[in-house]
Structure formats: structure tokens, C-alpha cells
Amino acid sequence: MTRASWQEIQRADSAAIWHPYAPATGGADVYPVTSASGVRIKLADGRELIDGMASWWCAIHGYNHPVLNRAVEAQLHDVSHVMFGGLTHEPAVQLAELLVELTPVALDRVFFSDSGSVSVEVAMKMAIQYWYSTGKPEKQKLLSLRNGYHGDTFGAMSLCDPVTGMHHLFGAALPQQLFAPAPTCAFDAPCEDADIAAMKVLLEQHCNELAAVIVEPVAQGAGGMRFYSPQYLVKLRALCDEYDVLLIFDEIATGFGRTGKMFALEHANVVPDILCLGKALTGGYMTLAATLCTARISSGITAGEAGAFMHGPTFMANPLACATALASIRLLLSQPWRRTVERLHGELSAGLAPARECSNVADVRTLGAIGVIELREAVDMRVVQPMFVERGVWVRPFGKLVYAMPPYVMGTADVATLTAAMVDVVAGL
């Protein structure tokens, strides 16, 4: 294939494409990529960037991994896609078995969908249809946390932080949900009753109309990169049981080892009624998500009026994606991934610590293979993005947050380059 020049790609991009959270004319600010391998993204002008983002939490094994490549190629020769209504296939069956085995025992049924946001929509529909089926059709609202992020489709967006999620732009088209304050108890601190008092009041007042509470366990991602005490989840589970409200965990960002446990819920040993997985599920190769639920939910819905769960995406359980997810999870399990995440944690913590000296830095925090520098003021992306690229790293800040969640395969020297660049850029603002 003859390659277009950097400028040609940018010009064509600018003319026709809309990028995420970007103006229609943002094409001049995007960097053309020609390939990626390991932790390096290669740009069209030959420069290589060390990837600090794992393509938004996904590429845990890095890019162009031989094991994942082989899984895609092998599946390609069997079947790339087939409808899931009335048909099934081994990649889906084996992946579902593995997800059920890896997650808490009570979560024993898997619904596949095509993206994280859709898996959240599915979780919301499961919760609402469960209550409808069991004679409580008035339980339709959800309660989530401020600073939360659950996706960009309407249902998922209605659960995101109302301010950073810009709910006012969508007016009455957006379902109205309830919000509790973000937990303030630190990850390594206990959670006092006072820390969850506002949540308790909301549950007490609204339990009759509440289908479920949804949270990102232990680590809030795109809504603020905040970490909180696992004990909060223990108390939340008890409150949900007390007020007969379902509990949904959104582990789309935290799943598959990112916080140091296979799933963040293991920090608290709390079992939700419904669990959402996505992002790193396929090792970043393609889009796939899963919503798991307990027998209480699946049998409640099945015994109800509809007799079936009313959802079914066209690309449900896509065989290529399922085969890649299987290979990615098996690859993870075949490695000492806990030690790797611990190493990354140590290196991110040590590497980012000097940022604490900067007067524009409000906080530096790490959990598992996540490193965050929180600034006092929001950064100007158009200024900051080229500063990272000049230093040979790919970091994409948002708002006041400059953060990294590298692929697990990143070596010590590359982590040092990455964190040094983050500190250097922050110090130069």
C-alpha cells in the first residue's frame, strides 16, 4: 500500500472525520499512526511514542502481540461472525465459562455485547426488567456516584457525573437519575459510617423507585481518577441488601488486573448482582463487552411476563472478538501478572513522586498500574499534547488530570521515560 503523507492524512481526516470529544475541525491536532508494536506507537513520520494510555485501558499486552495475532488469524479461517440468535459457537462458550470461573461464584450468567457503554445499558435493563418481572415495576431509577463515568450512550451517560458529563446539554432527553457524593475515604483508609451517610439517606428515601446502585469499584476512572476504600463497597453491599436495591459494579476500566487484583471487587470481597466488563477484555484488539449476573437476576427475568431478556445486539458474541478475548485472558493468566502490576505500581509511584514538588500540582496518586498527577488547573490540550510527543511518549490528559495506565508489558526503562516526561511536562506548565 502506498502511504499518504502526514499532511495528506491530516487534511483528509479534517475534512471528513469527527474525533472523540473534539470539534469537527480537529483534524490538524491528530497524529497519524502507521503501526504499533509492544509499547510503541509509530507515527507516519517515523517517530515512535511510548504508549502510557494502553489505548484507554485496553492494550494490556501491548500491540501486535504474536499470541493475540495468532488467535485472530485462526478464528478468521473458521468463522468471523455469525448471528447469535439461535446459534452459538465455541469461542463464546469457552469465554463465558472462563469469565464465570474468574469472577465470584454467584455471577454465573454472561450476556455479551459490543462495547462498554452497551454493557452498562444491558445492566440497567437487566435491573429494571428484573423488578418488573418480580412485581415491582415502579423500581426504575438508578443511583450512581458523583465523579463516576459509565459510558456515552443515553442510559450510561445518565449515570455519569452530571457536571463533567455535561448533562445540561441533553435536557429532558436524558433520564433523571440520583447521585450520591463520591466516596472521600482513601483507598488505604477505613470507611466510617459518616463516609457513606449521604448514600444511606438516598437509599432510605428512594428505595421504592430504585432498581439499582451502580459504581466503579475502588477506582473511579474517566470521571476523576479517584481511588477509595474497599470498605465503602462492603458497607454499600449491606445497604443495598437492607433497602432491597440491586448493586451493579462497572469494572470496564478496572477489570483484568489493572488495580492489582484480577477484578477490583476482590479488594473488598464484595459480590455485585450485576457486573460489567469491557476494555481490556480482548487485550485491546477489538470491541467486546460482557454483562454478568446472578441466578437471582436471570431466573427472575426468565420467570417474568416477557419470559426473555429483551436485548440482542447484531454483533453479539462476535467470534473473532471472543476468540481474541480468550487468548488475551489465557495469556494474562499464564504470566505472573500480579508481580508485574506490583512492579509497575512501584515504578509509577517512584517516577511520579517528584511532581509533588510542583506548585501547580494538587495531588499525585497511584493504584495498581495506574498513575495520576492531578493539577490545580485544567490543562490546554493543544499546548500539552505536543509537549508529550516531543518527549517520545503518548499521554492524553483531560481536565486537571495527567495520568498513565501503561500496557503491562512496559519495561522499567520505558516506565522511567514515561514518568520523567509526565513530571517534566507538568513542571513546565
| Active site (catalytic) residues | 21, 149, 250, 279
Give min distance, CB of 151 to ligand PLP, in A. Answer: 4
150 binds ligand PLP (CB under 6 A): yes
115 binds ligand PLP (CB under 6 A): yes
- How many binding residues for ligand PLP (CB under 6 A)? 15
Look at the alpha carbons of 221, 225, 228, 230 in this order and tell me if their dihedral is positive or negative. positive
Pick from 38, 217, 278, 351 the residue near ligand PLP by CB under 6 A.
278
Give min distance, CB of 222 to ligand PLP, in A. Answer: 6
Pick from 59, 95, 222, 265 the residue near ligand PLP by CB under 6 A.
222
165 binds ligand PLP (CB under 6 A): no
Q: Using DSSP, state whether 277 is helix, strand or coil.
A: strand
Q: Toward ligand PLP, which CB reaches closer, 132 or 249?
A: 249
Interface residues for ligand PLP in 332-371 (CB under 6 A)? none
Give min distance, CB of 217 to ligand PLP, in A. Answer: 10
| Closest to 317 in 3D by CA, of 308, 325, 305, 306 | 325
Look at the alpha carbons of 16, 19, 23, 27 in this order and tell me if their dihedral is positive or negative. negative
Give min distance, CB of 150 to ligand PLP, in A. Answer: 5
84: CB partners within 8 A, 6+ apart: 92, 112, 312, 316, 317
The H or E element containing residue 198 is: helix 197-206
Burial label for 115, CB within 10 Å (0-12, 13-18, 19+), is buried
Residue type for position 279: K
Strands (E), 147-301: 178-180, 210-215, 219-220, 226-227, 246-250, 274-277, 289-294
Pick from 32, 62, 91, 116 the residue near ligand PLP by CB under 6 A.
116
Give min distance, CB of 326 to ligand PLP, in A. Answer: 19
Q: List the grid coordinates of 255.
A: 477489570
Please tell me the distance from the alpha carbon of residue 412 to that of residue 391, in angstroms, as a whole number: 17
273 binds ligand PLP (CB under 6 A): no
Please tell me the distance from the alpha carbon of residue 343 to that of residue 335, in angstroms, as a whole number: 14
Q: Interface mask (CB under 6 A) for ligand PLP, residues 70-99, using x and -? A: ------------------------------
147 binds ligand PLP (CB under 6 A): no
Task: Give me the residues that bind ligand PLP (CB under 6 A), please.
Answer: 115-117, 120, 149-151, 216, 221-222, 250, 252-253, 278-279
